[in-house]
Amino acid sequence: MMEKKVVVALGGNAILSNDASAQAQQEALIQTSKHLVNLVKEDYKLIISHGNGPQVGNLLLQQQAANSEKNPAMPLDTCVAMTQGSIGYWLANAMTNELKQANISKEVATVLTQVVVDENDEAFKNPTKPIGPFLTEEAAKEEAEKTGATFKEDAGRGYRKVVASPKPIGIHEAKTINTLVNNDIITISCGGGGVPVVGAELKGVEAVIDKDFASEKLAHLVSADMFIVLTGVDNVYINYGKENEQKLTNVTVAELEQYKAEGHFAPGSMLPKIEAAIQFAKNNPGKKAVITSLECLGDLTKNPEIGTTIVL
């Protein structure tokens, strides 16, 4: 088989479960790498992206707890960069060791990635993504007056800062990533959706980019042959959890858009993955997007029933 480029977007469960310690996250990534190496064995040129929601949230809490005049808390864009670095370091090490065990001679590189967004994106007018600690109403008002940040009440648990979640329009390091991949180097990039930047000066902004949309943008820019979005289930389902539950294996964009319009996919979980997969199939006619679980990666090329394949 001819080598093909594949972008794999890791879900949060591939890195962090209940234990937020470095050791536990490193152990999770070792297990994740065992599955990812299966694609390398199938001669895919591998480009890995990943989420960082829990990690950046924990880091913001740590920053806030230690915040002082002499040691001020770092802004959100910097925290995204910091977690890109730490997760990339763990994952690159884990992948390198798994490749050695499989007697595969390939290098792994992590690319700190800046993802360009439009400063006029409507998302900036209506921030919705909660980050950081829970505050009382009084503390939230005080913080809002001091910093200009927006706070919203979160499910009766207190008030949290909310930031915009703009759509990615470009990836500054796409050419660098492509050069690495074309030289047979496994790359880890677009961590946490990338560091959101605006304008020619690449100025960081307080925002969170959905990692599935950033991964789709990357897949398009590097001309990937396949875009794989990993989640907690092997396939996408309609009527999920009901008596008439139906597994989707091969589906067209038109069919998936119909299911989406009927409200089959939850906004906070499966919907962004569905939208990113649809976007890739539309932008890249003849190529496919796949939504499946990490555990299914090894069987993806052998069993047509594995995963949900989306084509135009």
- CA dihedral of 117, 122, 126, 132, whole degrees rounded to 10: -10
Tell me if residue 161 is catalytic. no
- From the list 45, 161, 273, 288, the catalytic residue is 273
Tell me if residue 41 is catalytic. no
- From the list 13, 38, 93, 283, the catalytic residue is 13
Tell me if residue 204 is catalytic. no
- From the list 5, 211, 217, 288, the catalytic residue is 211
**Among residues 221, 177, 225, which one has the least CA distance to residue 4?**
225
Rounded-to-integer distance, Cα 151 and Cα 139, Å: 10
Tell me if residue 12 is catalytic. yes
Rounded-to-integer distance, Cα 80 and Cα 191, Å: 8
Contact 261, 281 (CB under 8 A): no
- From the list 4, 34, 129, 282, the catalytic residue is 129
Tell me if residue 211 is catalytic. yes
What one-letter code names the amino acid at 195? V
- Hey, which residues are catalytic here? 12-13, 129, 211, 273
